[in-house]
Structure 1
């Protein structure tokens, strides 16, 4: 099989994994508390990625400190600390949004991240988007208005979703934080390697999540109640690792565009898997995706 075609399939598989993460997170909120979900989801992801690092970099098994020093550059640890702290906050908001709202409503709102990056990227990395990127912004915003259309109010466009839906506001906060961490991650990959960066970041998030769960009053959750969190974390780690490989073969915006198909997959699956009423949200998600793809291409 042609390597480029294989990479395209890998990017598509990554999108499916992200959709499984979305659905697993929503299902987990029905049987477990947020702090336990956060800790188990990221603990599962960190474990799998740590194993992958030991396979790719066998030196971690006998000389971990020296091996880590050989694959990182100055500034790596500072970037990791910032990204870890911000991502813990973002994923706490992410889980909360799925608890409070339908997956078919909040999952597409992640597509606002590239819109917000048009503000954060020029500041952090000096990247600017040409006119096509601005057209993508308009499409993405239009899609937000369509997400809550064709509901009881009968409106064709409805932009009040953030005013009336708490879960949507949490996902907006998530997208805002991710618009910052995406730029940090780009710098972090340059200061190491894609696998080392992702594995290190997941490990930091897992440790912080475990500490967050351990602080304050809590009850030990039943293992059966955490099976969806394990599924979500496993899908997250596998999808991310596959995405990193695809990025070494394909033009980055192509991989990102395919990865964002996850929003459509989540909306499609939520009506069948989670028994949610999706209404006209599929069309809204599709319009948002078109805008996000235009922004991705413009940034490439």
Structure 2
């Protein structure tokens, strides 16, 4: 069990003491029919998405691939009406246009002085993996919405995290990778703690906001990643910051179109 799941399990036990004395009965009262099917499907999709996500960051600069998660709200204009019945008016088209333009600004060719460059998916492997990730997450976000409606947010996040942790452990064991260095584990603990807190807030937000509202706000992290990559990783991010900003504006336009 990873640190995120461990912290969520503790939080669930505190919030629902019945999980310690009568776990099966308590879970039955906290979940509705169909919950476990949603959990397994969403967990499996998330495991696949995380594999592509990690590969994207390994193959390309963080400042190049991170903004591409902002394509998720665009893709949700297709997945949300089908899965949750949430639709956006035509104004959302402007958001789509801005997001696409932002993609063209991410990897501007400085030598040819091109103002827009959409060859990023041809020249770099990382962005292709991130597009797959964004596509899967556009489905997962709607499954989150359905699963939260069929359970308590904290219970869903805990069970989902546990499912992903178990599958990830199986993947790691099957790959035969060596154990992590203790220093890396320290960083993982800090990151995992932040992730568990953020994930719990996300599941709560899904109970009070439209799904694309939550996802678009969450994607602000892409802009922060571009900023941090310049300082921490010393990556070139001048043009990429502009592209990420335009993509973020497009994502927010899609959100406002749903308001």
Give the TM-score category using the shorter length. over 0.9
Say if 2:67 is the partner of 1:108.
yes
Aligned position for 1:72:
31
CA distance in 1, matches of 2:83, 2:95: 21
Contact kept? 1:137, 1:295, Cα under 8 Å = yes
SS state at 1:200 partner: helix
Bigger Cα displacement from structure 2, 153-162 vs 74-83: 153-162
TM-score, length-scaled by structure 1: 0.80
The Cα RMSD (Å) is 1.9
Q: Hey, what does 2:104 align to over in structure 1?
A: 145
Q: Which of 164, 167, 172 does residue 123 from structure 2 map onto?
A: 164
**In 2 relative to 1, CA 283–56 (structure 1 residues): closer, same or farther, beyond 3 Å?**
same
TM-score by length of 2: 0.93
* Higher RCO, Cα 8 Å, sep 6+: 1
Q: Does 1:133 align with 2:92?
A: yes
Corresponding position of 1:271: 230
C-alpha deviation, 1:242, in angstroms: 2.7
* Mapped pair 1:118 → 2:77: yes
1:143-188 CA-partner distances (Å, limit 9, x unpaired): 0001112634421100011111101111101001001111111110
Where does the alignment leave 5 or more consecutive residues of structure 2 unmatched?
none
Deviations 1:219-268 (CA, angstroms, capped at 9, x unpaired):
22322233333333222111122334455667766554433321211111
- Please give the secondary structure, in 2, of the residue aligned with 1:156: coil
Kindly report which structure 2 residues correspond to 1:61-100, keeping only aligned pairs within 5 A, or say none.
61-100=20-59
**Deviation sequence 1:118-137 (CA, Å, 0-9, x none):** 12222222332211111111
| Distance in 2, Cα, partners of 1:162 & 1:190 | 37
SS in 2 for 1:151: coil
Whole-Å separation in 2 of the counterparts to 1:242 and 1:128: 24
Instruction: Find the counterpart in structure 1 of residue 157 from structure 2.
Output: 198
**Aligned pairs, number:** 259
Aligned position for 2:13: 54
Tell me the SS of whatever aligns to 1:268. helix
Residue aligning to 2:220 = 261
Deviation at 1:200, TM superposition (A): 1.1
Summarize the Cα distance change of 1:157–1:138 in structure 2 as closer, same or farther, 3 Å threshold: same
Query: Counterpart in 1 of 2:252?
Result: 293
1:217 aligns with 2:170: no
Q: Tell me if structure 2 keeps the 8 A contact 1:125–1:183.
A: yes
